[in-house]
Amino acid sequence: MAEQFAELNPPPRLLMGPGPVDVDPRVLRALSMPMLGQFDPAFTGYMNETMELYRRVYQTRNRWTFLIDATARGGIEGLLVSLIAPGDKVLVPVFGRFGHLLAEIAARCRAEVVTVARDWGTVFAPDEIEDAVRRHRPKVLALVHGDTSTTMAQPLAGIGEICRRHDAILYVDATATLGGMEVAVDDWKLDAVSAGLQKCLSGPPGSAPVTFNERVVEIVQARKHIEAGIRPDDAVAENGPVIQSNYFDLAMLMDYWSEARLNHHTEATPMLYAARECARIALAEGLEARFARHRLASTALTAGLATMGLTLFGDQKNKMPNVTGVEIPDGVDGERVRAIMLNDFGIEIGTSFGPLRGRIWRIGTMGYVCRKENVLACLGALEVALRQCGFRTKPVSGVDAALAVYREAEA
Ligand SMILES: Cc1ncc(COP(=O)(O)O)c(C=O)c1O
């Protein structure tokens, strides 16, 4: 007889790495709602509501604000492959792993890619970016907002103006920041932005909310090729270089998400329900309140870590409020600490990549997970794990220090 596998029963975990994080139970409930046909008026109504909800989350009036059915990387690919024609110049300022990802995706779109780099743990000053734009004259500047690999957030205010001055399109990867810190798309003149659900929005991975403005629409529409079989008789002339991907073709996705409702892929119904609920919850809390909650957790967590005698990683002025990098002390086996936290406390924290591999842990306080009790539980577990691995923490407990921050905020 064929082997019978047990019913799924994942171990309970508190996910405090750099993402994914625990899914809000309200989003889990939304995922289990009944299926609808994708052209059912009830469903297209949900599609329109989802567009409006993400306009608010992105703080934009962009008509074109919708979901790409893929993880966050699919959102990046959709925007870049639709913007970049072979031979276009793309400038990527790299300050962590995800800058390299943008450069890699742009290269696969056969762009002429130019990178400028900074040490991991730092970010670019606007002047440095303007110098690079002036020197290289890119069609697209592709920039990561919060790079989870280093826990740094690149300030974006002023970068949009730089791009307008030099006639470049500004693409931003806000996967790790949307819903956790300000992403003011219109005020900051960000032309195209993508994100995912599995970080500060506390949803499952698999849906990428994107938004883009008329500067992007103009480029994309000039490359519009509607596939045979669904092409209306009065379709526009096909004169631009074809977008290299069918799945990620923004021009066809726009027809799918507009009143035209031109068939493209089959919408991932449960993911749309989840994305809609993620945005609804974020807006019901209020963006400002949500950002403040993330900042408070960061202050409490960093106070606790410092009190334990640990060193925080990177330029603290530009630290993301939702992920904290902490140096693994000399002589401590970082993987053993993580294993104790996972196996004895059920808490997952992150390791890192590239030059930071084995040098830092990354602790996420995102979305639904970003709560006092989780910050305290994580610090308590880390303190015990560190002691077990031979590290002498200071006599004052990090948990007490973090709790003191909360008490003061609550007073
Ligand atoms: C800044 C950033 N961009 C892109 C990604 C890729 O997201 P996904 O794994 O959902 O494709 C991540 C994931 O960690 C990220 O942190």
Ligand 1 centroid, distance to 197 Cα (angstroms): 10
CATH number at residue 106: 3.40.640.10
pTM, to two decimals:
0.95
What DSSP string describes 170-214?
EEEE-TTTBTTB---TTTTT-SEEE--SSSTT---SS-EEEEE-H
Closest ligand 1 atom number to CA of residue 146: 1
Q: Atom 3 (ligand 1): residue with closest C-alpha?
A: 175
Calculate how far, in angstroms, residue 142's C-alpha sits from the geometric centre of ligand 1: 15
DSSP per-residue codes, 366-389: -GGG-SHHHHHHHHHHHHHHHHHT
Q: Is the residue at 10 inside a domain?
A: no
Q: 203 — phi, psi (to 5°)?
A: -115, 180
| Residues 137 and 156 occupy one common structural domain | yes
Range of the domain at 222: 25-283
Number of domains in the chain: 2
Nearest CA to ligand 1 atom 12: 175
On whether both 359 and 296 belong to a single domain, the answer is yes
Q: Rounded to an integer, what distance in angstroms lies between the CA atom of residue 294 and that of residue 276?
A: 21
Q: Which atom of ligand 1 is nearest to the CA of 19?
A: 14
CB 192 within 8 A of CB 84: no
Condensed to tens digits (0 to 9), the pLDDT of residues 286-317 reads 999 999 999 999 999 999 999 999 999 999 99
In a domain? residue 3: no
| 23, 173, 175, 183, best to mutate for ligand 1 pocket (most atoms within 8 Å of CB) | 175
What angle do helix axes 97-108 and 72-83 make, rounded to 10 degrees? 40
CB 279 within 8 A of CB 201: yes
The pairing of strands 360-364 and 323-327 is: antiparallel
Structure tokens at 392: 């002498």
Residue keyed to tokens 């993508």: 194
CA distance 325 to 152: 9
Residue 251 has which token pair? Answer: 């021009």
- Per the CB < 8 A criterion, the answer to whether 319 and 151 are in contact is yes
At which of 262, 283, 304 does a domain end? 283
Q: How far is the CA of 235 from the centre of ligand 1 (A)?
A: 36
How many residues make up the chain in this entry?
411
Residue 323 and residue 296 share a domain: yes
How far away, in angstroms, is 1 Cα from ligand 1 center? Answer: 42
* Residue 4 within any structural domain of the chain: no
Q: Which residues approach ligand 1 with their CB closer than 6 A?
A: 19, 71-73, 98, 144, 147-148, 173, 175-176, 196, 205
Give 295's DSSP letter: H
- Are 64 and 212 in contact, with CB atoms under 8 Å apart? yes
Say yes or no: 258 and 301 in one domain.
Answer: no
278 and 295 part of one domain: no
Q: Which of 283, 305, 337 is the last residue of a domain?
A: 283
Q: Which residue among 236, 254, 283 closes a domain?
A: 283
Same domain, 215 and 331: no
Backbone angles phi, psi at 153, to 5 degrees: -115, 120
| Cα 116 from Cα 120, distance rounded (Å) | 12
- Establish if 124 belongs to a structural domain: yes
**Distance between alpha carbon 84 and the CA centroid of its chain, in Å?**
21
Task: Compute the Cα dihedral for 378, 384, 389, 394 and give only its sign.
Answer: positive
What pairing do the DSSP bridges indicate for beta strands 146-147 and 152-153?
antiparallel
Are residue 277 and residue 297 in the same domain, yes or no?
no
Q: What atom of ligand 1 comes closest to residue 18's alpha carbon?
A: 14
Pick the closest to residue 383 from 372, 395, 370 (CA basis).
395
Q: Look up the CATH number of the domain holding residue 342.
A: 3.90.1150.10
Cis peptide before 20 (omega within 30 of 0): yes
The answer to whether residue 2 is domain-embedded is no
Asked if residue 255 and residue 201 are part of one domain, the reply reads yes
Q: How far apart are CA 117 and CA 94, in angstroms?
A: 5
Q: Cα of 231 to ligand 1 centre, how many Å?
A: 34
72 Cα: distance to centroid of ligand 1 (angstroms): 5
- Helix/strand/coil (H, E, C) string of 36-99? CCCCCHHHHHHHHHHHHHHHHHCCCCCCEEEEECCCHHHHHHHHHHHHCCCCCEEEEEECCHHH
Q: Are residues 302 and 361 in the same domain?
A: yes
Per-residue pLDDT of the chain (411 residues; tens, 9 = 90+): 688 999 999 999 999 999 999 999 999 999 999 999 999 999 999 999 999 999 999 999 999 999 999 999 999 999 999 999 999 999 999 999 999 999 999 999 999 999 999 999 999 999 999 999 999 999 999 999 999 999 999 999 999 999 999 999 999 999 999 999 999 999 999 999 999 999 999 999 999 999 999 999 999 999 988 888 888 887 765 678 999 999 999 999 999 999 999 989 999 999 999 999 999 999 999 999 999 999 999 999 999 999 999 999 999 999 999 999 999 999 999 999 999 999 999 999 999 989 999 999 999 999 999 999 999 999 999 998 998 899 987 766 777 778 788 878 988
Identify whether residues 244 and 293 lie together within a single domain: no
Query: Quick one: how far is CA 311 from the chain centroid?
Result: 25
Are 122 and 235 members of one domain?
yes
d(CA 254, CA 262): 9
- Residue 146 CA to ligand 1 centre (angstroms): 10
DSSP assignment letter at 152: E
Q: Which atom of ligand 1 is nearest to the CA of 74?
A: 11
Helix, strand, coil percent values for the chain (each to nearest 5): 40, 15, 45
Residues 114 and 196 in one domain: yes
pLDDT in tens, 182-237: 999 999 999 999 999 999 999 999 999 999 999 999 999 999 888 888 888 877 65
CA distance 52 to 410: 34
